[in-house]
Amino acid sequence: MLIKTKSDVLSSEITDRAVFEARREFIKSATVLSAGLMMPDLGQAEPGKYKEVPIGPYSATLPVTAREDVAGYTNYYEFSTNKQDSTALAKGLKTSPWNVEISGEVEKPGVYQLEDILKDNPLQERIYRFRCVEAWSMVVPWIGFPLGEMLKRFKPTSKARFVEFTTLFNPDVMVGQRSSVLAWPYVEGLRMDEAMHPLALMVTGMYGDELPNQNGAPLRLIVPWKYGFKSIKAIVKIRFSETMPETAWYKSAPSEYGFYANVNPEVPHPRWSQSRERVLGSSIFTPKRTTEKFNGYGEQVASLYSGMDLSKYF
Ligand SMILES: Nc1nc2c(c(=O)[nH]1)N[C@H]1C(S)=C(S)[C@@H](COP(=O)(O)O)O[C@H]1N2
Ligand SMILES: [Mo]
């Protein structure tokens, strides 16, 4: 597959506030510091745990959203429906040790320690655009590895057509689970070919450091061509199945949140347009950005959906 950098697409959205060269070498470079260039505040203690992680494919020099915006405005209904509150509420979540149960149509089912999973899957940094169904977007340097590389190791059988992910259920800590705002536990899923696509990532960190709890530590999914709700946090179960998983959002509002959830400006949410997005961290005077189909990753992923009516399979 031809991998093109996205810098040409993205040059139009570069703002003087958030422009920053993502390569670690550049960040560390004394010349840059002495040139007095403005750097966004990464808001983290040095040295970050994942500072030396190599840059993976698909990443490019992009205007990255400030870390404090990504970490301070999260969607995590297990803690709160308020996007500012989960930062404090999620602090109590214990993310180590962490086990992931693998089950269903797979030759190597079992309960695996996250530590062992990570050992087999070398981490990379990939800077991806992320867009919520509620119409804000951001560009984040995620630290992780292709989901497919991990899934292959468990040897899914030929019957595995879908993969289902489940979030931890622990209402003692996840206080939002005491209310029935969603069908708990949170469940998401992908078709196997989507899951095997190299853009689908298992994520353990961001901005050169561990994932903050509110952003889904210790293990979350990132599917950059889909709306944010597919990117499930705090994963404790992965199940391979013949049938399409019933996802949490689909269960709560089937007419609003389909299984595919591909970013698509042509298909409005029943209650609002999906054609424009607010760039997280931009001022209220900054015009909204025109949303791109598949969030700008069409060249890589459109072929997964050839022949499908995307207004029906939204
Ligand atoms: N377990 C779980 N995963 C979740 C959610 C959630 O409420 N619970 N919210 C989803 C939604 S709607 C979005 S937009 C993204 C937000 O990711 P962020 O908070 O890291 O920006 O997480 C997704 N993953
Ligand atoms: Mo979302």
From atom 24 of ligand 1, which residue's Cα is the shortest distance away?
232
Ligand 1 contact via 93 beta carbon (within 6 Å): no
pLDDT per residue as tens, the chain (314 positions):
344 344 333 333 333 233 344 344 444 443 334 333 444 444 444 568 998 899 888 876 778 999 999 999 999 999 999 999 999 999 999 999 999 999 999 999 999 999 999 999 999 999 999 999 999 999 999 999 999 999 999 999 999 999 999 999 999 999 999 999 999 999 999 999 999 999 999 999 999 999 999 999 999 999 999 999 999 999 999 999 999 999 999 999 999 999 999 999 999 999 999 999 999 999 989 999 999 999 999 999 999 999 999 999 99
Q: What pLDDT is attached to residue 199?
A: 97
Residues flanking ion ligand 2, Cβ below 5 Å: 75, 132-133, 228-229
Identify the nearest ligand to the CA of 167 by its number. 1
CATH topology for the 6-305 domain: Sulfite Oxidase; Chain A, domain 2 (3.90.420)
How many other C-beta atoms can be found within 10 angstroms of the C-beta atom of residue 55? 16
Q: Report the 10 Å Cβ neighbour count for 27.
A: 15
Contact 95, 236 (CB under 8 A): no
- Distance (Å, whole) CA 311 – CA 314: 5
φ, ψ for residue 165 (rounded to 5)? -115, 145
What share of residues in the chain are helix, strand, coil (percent, to 5)?
A: 25, 25, 55
193: helix, strand or coil: helix
To which residue do tokens 């030396």 refer?
52
Count other Cβ atoms within 10 Å, centred on residue 283.
8
Positive or negative torsion for Cα 76, 66, 220, 172: negative
pTM of the model: 0.87
Closest to 22 measured CA to CA, from 226, 259, 206? 206
Distance 76 CA to ligand 1 centre (A): 5
Write out the two tokens for 175.
């206080």
87 lines ligand 1 (CB under 6 A): no
Residue of the nearest CA to atom 19 in ligand 1? 74
Domain ranges of the chain: 6-305
Question: What DSSP designation does 9 have?
Answer: H
Please report the pLDDT score of residue 46 as a whole number: 54
Q: Quick check: 188 and 248 in contact, CB under 8 A? A: yes
User: 314 CB under 6 A from ligand 1?
Assistant: no
